[in-house]
């Protein structure tokens, strides 16, 4: 099959998009333009303090996670050695009989 590329044309707009607001325009809208210098500094320092608090919380949490990661025990590999079979009552009775037989043989010799 032959694929045909279809181009979708955008509608023609005779006017350019509106320009973004300048720094002064934003300050006029928020009322900061008429604020006193001390108020501006105070507001700026509050924003900075909030940012610092957030960064310290994140860094403390990372340090805590790193410390906790050290306390997680490593996964131990299972050894390939076979475990000794546990002796049951029947096995012990057989062992006792065998020992008695060997003692009799040794005493007879």
Among candidate residues 13, 12, 30, the one with its CA nearest the CA of residue 21 = 30
Question: 3-42 pLDDT, tens per residue?
Answer: 888 888 989 999 999 999 999 999 899 888 888 888 889 9
d(CA 69, CA 47): 33
Among candidate residues 54, 56, 30, the one with its CA nearest the CA of residue 43 = 30
Question: 63-108 pLDDT, tens per residue?
Answer: 999 888 888 777 887 766 666 666 566 788 888 899 999 999 989 8
For the chain, the structural domain boundaries read 35-73
> What is the distance in angstroms between the CA of the first residue and the CA of the last residue of the chain?
101
- At 47, is the pLDDT very low, low, confident or very high (cuts 50, 70, 90)? very high
Identify the pLDDT of residue 54. 93
Q: How many Cα atoms are found within 13 Å in the side-chain-facing hemisphere of 89? A: 0
């Amino acid at each position: 099959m032959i694929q045909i590329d279809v181009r979708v044309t955008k509608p023609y707009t005779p006017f350019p998009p509106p320009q973004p607001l300048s720094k002064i325009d934003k300050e006029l809208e928020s009322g900061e333009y008429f604020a006193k210098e001390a108020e501006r500094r105070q507001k700026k320092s509050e924003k900075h303090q909030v940012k610092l608090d957030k960064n310290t919380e994140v860094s403390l949490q990372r340090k805590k996670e790193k410390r906790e990661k050290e306390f997680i025990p490593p996964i131990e590999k299972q050894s390939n050695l076979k475990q000794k079979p546990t002796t049951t009552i029947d096995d012990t009775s057989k062992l006792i009989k065998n020992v008695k037989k060997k003692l009799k043989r040794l005493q007879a010799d």
